[in-house]
Structure 1
Amino acid sequence: KIAVANWRAMGKYDTELHTRGYELIHVPPGKDSADFKMATVGSSIFIHYPTAKEVLVCSSDGVMTHLCTTLQTHGLKVYLVRKQNDKIIVLNNKTRETQAHSLVSVPEIPTLEEFINQLKDILKAEQKRTSNAWVNLSRLSYLFESKYQLSLNQVVSLRLPGKLTTDIFSDYPKEFVTHHIPGTSNFYITLFEKPISFIKKTSSLKTIQLKPTVKPVSKIESKSDLEEILVKLLKDLKTNYKDPYVPIAHIATEFKKQYSRPITQLMRDLNLKGTFPKFLQSLGAFKLKKVGKAYQVALRLDGLNAVVIEQ
C-alpha cells in the first residue's frame, strides 16, 4: 500500500495512514505533483511487488488512465477507486463493471416484534402530540424513517415478503385499527384499545358478569334507537378532536368495531333508505359539512347552553 501526497499540508493523515501500513511518499506542493509521482511509482509496481495480482488506484484524475493501461499490459487487474458523495465507487478498468460501497452504516432491520412495538410507540407519541386518535399512514412513515433511518417498505420487504405496507396493520388487528376513506389515498391508523370490562355484583355476590366486547345489534330496533347510539358514539369520539366536527367515516368505523356490523347494513335491515350522510342529515341531532370529498359531522347542541327542567 502506497500513498503519495504533500504530507506537510495533510495534517495528521500521515500518522493515520502509517499506522494502517501505508508506505508514504512525500512530494513538494505543486499542481499534479502527487499524480505524476504516483504514476511514476505505480508503473513499476509489478517490479517491486512481483506477486501482486490486483492494483487499486485511488484517484479521480484522468492522468491515471495511462498508469492503468501500463499495469494492465503487465497482467495486473486494475481498479479505479474514487469517492462520490457518501459512497466509494470501484471501477474495473478492463470490464468497466462498477461497484458502489456506502460509507454510511446501514441500520439494522428490526425483528417483526420490535417493528410492531416501534410503530405502536410512534403512534402513541403522535396521538399525544395531536390529541387525535387517528394518524395518517404518510405521517407515520415519515416519523418512522426520521427516527430509525429506515423506510417502512425496507422492513416490510424483509420481514413480510410479498406484503404491502398497509398489510402490517390489517395483519395485526389486535394491535391496530385502520380506516381508508373511499375514493382517496388517505389511510389512517390508530391503536386497538381493549374495552374496559366492568364487574357487576349480583345479590348473591357469587357471580360476576363482564361487559361484552361486541354489543348486541338486536337492541337497535328503530331509527330513534340508532340515532341515540350514534349521538353517544360521536360524543365519545369527540374526546380525540379539538374541532367539534368528526369525519363520519370514523363514526362508521367505530360502529362496526363495537357492533360487528357495518352501519349501512343495519340501515338496510331497518329499512332506512339513502346513504349514511343523508341519513345523518335527516336526524335532528346532527349537522354536517363537506370537507373536500368527505363529510364531517357534529352535534347540533355543540357550543350552545341548554337548560333542562325536571319536574
Structure 2
Amino acid sequence: MKCPTCGSTSLRKNGRPNNRQRYRCKDCGRQFMEKFPTSRIGQEISVSKSEPTTLTEAPRTGIAILLLDVENLKIDVNAEQFLASISEYSLQVKMAFANWKNSSLSKYDAELFERGYQLIHVPECKNSADAQMMSMGAAIGRQYSDAKAVFVCSSDWLLTHLCNSLQNQGLTVYRVRRQPDNILSIENRSTLEVKHYSVKMATEIPPLEEFVEQIQQLLQVEHESISRRSSELSIIASLLEKRCEISLVRESKQNLSQVVSEDAEISAAKNIPTELVENEENIQSKMVDLPEINSRAEFEQEVMKIISNIPVKKNQIFVNLNLVDEKFMAIFGEDMGQVLKDLKINNDLENFFKFSPKFRAKKKPRSKEYQVAIAAQNIQTVNSEIIRSPEPAENVPTVNSEIIRSPKELEQALVNIIEVLAAHDPHGYICISIIGTEFKKQYSHSITTILKQLNLSKKLINFLESSNVFNLKKVGKKYKVAIVSQE
C-alpha cells in the first residue's frame, strides 16, 4: 500500500474508525483510509438484454465527506448525527482542519480523534485552514472516487469557491454555517433547501408551517385540559361547601361565577351534560357574606380571640401557628397571610408575629414550624420551657404598633424587638444597627425620628445608657445592647 499523496510505502496504522483501517504516512503526514478491493464477481456476470430492470433497482452507493474548519465552527456528536441524517449517502470520511498546537484546542483534538476525524494540521496564519480545505477539497473527487456528497462546515466566505468547485465535479454540496443563538444553517447548494438545527436544544428547527401546526395541536390539548380541570374544580368546590359548611368569599364569588360561565360555554359547544354547572349555580345561590377585616387592630383582635379559644395542655400557652391559620380561614374564608397582604401590612406571616408587641412567637424544637401566644399574659421561663403563671400580669406595658407617645412605650418596643432577636440567647447582645432596622420595619419610622418627637436625645446610645432596662457595651467600633437580667 502506498501513500496517495507522495507514494511512500513508509506507513503506520492510525486507528480504525467505522471498522476501516486508517494509515498515516511517515514522510508527509497524510492520513488516509484503507480502500476495500472491488469485487470482480459483478464483472464476470453477464446480464442479458431481457433483464435490464435488475440493475436499475439496485440501491445507490457512495459516501459523504465532512470538511470541518475547527477554528471557525465546532460540531458536537448530536449535530454530526443530524448532518449524517440529511444526506442519503453514508458519512464515512471526516476531516478537521486547525492549528493543533493551539492550547485552546488541546482537549478538542482528542475528542475528534476518538470520533474518527482525520486531524489536518495547518500553520498559525490567517485563513490558513481555509486555504488547506480548498486545496484538499478540490482533489476529493480524485482521492475518493466513490464520494457523492460533501459537507463544507465553515462560515468563512472564502469557501464559497470550494463549494462551486465541488459542484462542478458533480458532487452534492451542503454548506454548514453558524447563526446567532447557537443555530446551524445547512443549505443544499443544488436544491437551495435550507434546514436549521439548534445546538442548545439538539433538535431541528421546523419550518414556519410545521411550527404553526404544532402550536395548534398544543393549544388544542391545553384547551381540553383546562376544560377537564374546571369541571374537577367545580366538583371539589361542591364537596368543600357541603363538608365544611362554609362558602366562598368576596373575590371568590366573582371568580367562581366566571368559571361557571366558561363551563357553560364549553358544555354548549361540545354538547356535554351541564349537571356540574347547575350544581355550581345552586351553591352560588346559597352563599352568605362572611365577616370582613378592615384594619390591623381588627385583625389582631380576631387572632387573639382565636388563640384564646384553642385548648392547650396544662402549663402551656403557645399554640401552633398552622392551627391558628386553619381556624382563621374557617371563620373568614381567607388565610391570615392573604388578609395581611390585603391590608398592606406584611406579607410574611411569621415576621408579623415575631415583631408584633401583642404576640409572642417561637420555633418548635427541632422543627421549622412556629408557635404563637398572646403577649399580654405573664410569661416565665422555667427549665427552658414556657409556662403560664396562675394569674395574668396586670402591669405589663404594651406598645401601640403604629404610634409611640412616651419614652416608656419606646423602651418597651425596644425590649420586644430584642427579645425576638435574642430568642435563642435571652441575655445575648444584639447590634444596635440590627435593632434599628427591625424597629423601622415594625413602626415605619426610625428610632431617631421617635426620639426627636419625644424631645429626647437624638442619639439612641444616650437613651439606652439612661435606661436601667438595657446593658450597653462597645465591641470594636460598634455598640451592642442586651436586656438586663432580672434574676
TM-score, with length taken from structure 1 = 0.46
Return the structure number with greater relative CO, CA threshold 8 A, min gap 6.
Answer: 1
TM-score, with length taken from structure 2 = 0.31
Which of structures 1 and 2 has the bigger CA Rg?
2
